[in-house]
């Protein structure tokens, strides 16, 4: 009797929690399952799987791109734009991605506020954003090393000294530009964060409270600079003249 009960107990352990002993799905398998759900118009199930991968630390341009497509199919244009913008950091040259971003922005009923910027600032940010931070860092190291080598060569050869100074001066200028672009880009990435409104409408108040006076309203898809947070409120800025507090759930950082 005891033997039978023991055998039955072992059988229950092996049968009931069958899924406990099954092999866990890999990220690639989850991603492929999400893609199949998308292809079969099960967009909500697909979004849950894509989001689970992101929650587990998986990041890739294709993942964010597919999640953006899924949210667009669900009618959530704001969340679609958030994930398209995130995808652009990994696949910056993807034509389909930027076509989707342009399509949603063209269909969104709002005009982003224009902020006056000097020509020098626009030129500088254009130069700074032309390359990634890693590339600017490599440029800085190469130019600085070249300057050191040329100065050393000039000190050993009197005939090459004058020429080395000229070339070193030019390379030193490039080094300073590269270093400045790297530092400025790093600070912009660290302290300048942008977000996109994910709710159909969001009220921006002068203070982080529902008792605060409404300053203006945002609509889904609008982009704003995120300045900080205070509890359940996010401090945002549209331009030098327009800033305020919005509920954190209404805007999502890129």
Provide the CATH number for the domain around residue 86: 1.25.40.10
Q: Are 237 and 248 in contact (CB under 8 A)?
A: no
Establish if 30 belongs to a structural domain. yes
- Given a cut of 80, whether residue 160 has pLDDT beyond it is no
How many whole angstroms separate alpha carbon 224 and alpha carbon 195? Answer: 5
pLDDT tens per residue, range 95-108: 999 999 999 988 77
H or E stretch including 238?
strand 233-239
Establish if 178 belongs to a structural domain. yes
Identify the residue with better confidence: 206 or 117: 206
Q: What is the mean pLDDT of the chain?
A: 85
Query: Quick one: pLDDT band at residue 73, thresholds 50, 70, 90?
Result: very high
Domain of residue 150: give its range: 119-191
Domain boundary (107, 128, 158) is at 107
Most confident of 90-94, 111-115, 164-168, 242-246: 242-246
Mean pLDDT across 135-155: 89
- Given a cut of 70, whether residue 10 has pLDDT beyond it is no
pLDDT, position 112: 54
How many whole angstroms separate alpha carbon 73 and alpha carbon 54? Answer: 19
Q: Are 110 and 222 in contact (CB under 8 A)?
A: yes
| Nearest partner of 69 among 93, 48, 100, judged by Cα | 100
pLDDT, position 109: 61
Establish if 15 belongs to a structural domain. no
Query: Quick one: pLDDT band at residue 153, thresholds 50, 70, 90?
Result: confident
Establish if 2 belongs to a structural domain. no
Per the listing, tokens 């998308």 go with 38
Neighbours of 205 (CB within 10 A): 18
DSSP 220: T
pTM over 0.75: no
Q: Are residues 49 and 92 in the same domain?
A: yes
- Given a cut of 50, whether residue 189 has pLDDT beyond it is yes
Neighbours of 82 (CB within 10 A): 26
pLDDT, position 16: 42
Establish if 249 belongs to a structural domain. yes
Establish if 113 belongs to a structural domain. no
Mean pLDDT across 51-62: 94
Establish if 5 belongs to a structural domain. no
pLDDT, position 190: 74
Q: Are residues 221 and 163 in the same domain?
A: no
DSSP 232: T
């Amino acid at each position: 009797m005891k033997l039978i009960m023991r055998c039955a107990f072992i059988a229950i352990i092996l049968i009931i929690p069958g899924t406990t002993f099954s092999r866990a799905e890999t990220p690639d398998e989850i991603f492929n399952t999400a893609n199949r759900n998308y292809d079969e118009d099960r967009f909500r199930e697909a979004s849950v799987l894509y989001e689970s991968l992101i929650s587990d630390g998986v990041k890739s341009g294709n993942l964010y791109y597919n999640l953006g497509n899924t949210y667009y199919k669900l009618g959530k244009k704001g969340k679609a734009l958030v994930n398209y913008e995130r995808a652009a950091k990994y696949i910056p040259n993807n034509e389909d991605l930027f076509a989707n971003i342009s399509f949603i922005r063209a269909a969104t009923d709002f005009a982003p506020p224009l902020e006056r910027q000097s020509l020098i600032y626009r030129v500088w940010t254009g130069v700074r954003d032309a390359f990634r931070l890693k590339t600017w860092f490599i440029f800085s190291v190469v130019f600085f090393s070249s300057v050191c080598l040329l100065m050393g060569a000039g000190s050993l050869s009197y005939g090459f000294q004058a020429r080395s100074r000229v070339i070193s001066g030019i390379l030193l200028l490039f080094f300073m530009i590269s270093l400045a672009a790297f530092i400025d880009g790093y600070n912009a990435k660290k302290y300048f964060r942008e977000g996109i409104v994910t709710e159909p409408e969001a009220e921006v108040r002068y203070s982080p409270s529902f008792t605060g006076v409404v300053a203006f309203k945002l609509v889904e898809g609008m982009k704003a600079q995120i300045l900080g947070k205070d509890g359940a409120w996010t401090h945002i800025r549209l331009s030098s003249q327009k800033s305020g507090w919005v509920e954190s759930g209404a805007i999502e950082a890129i």
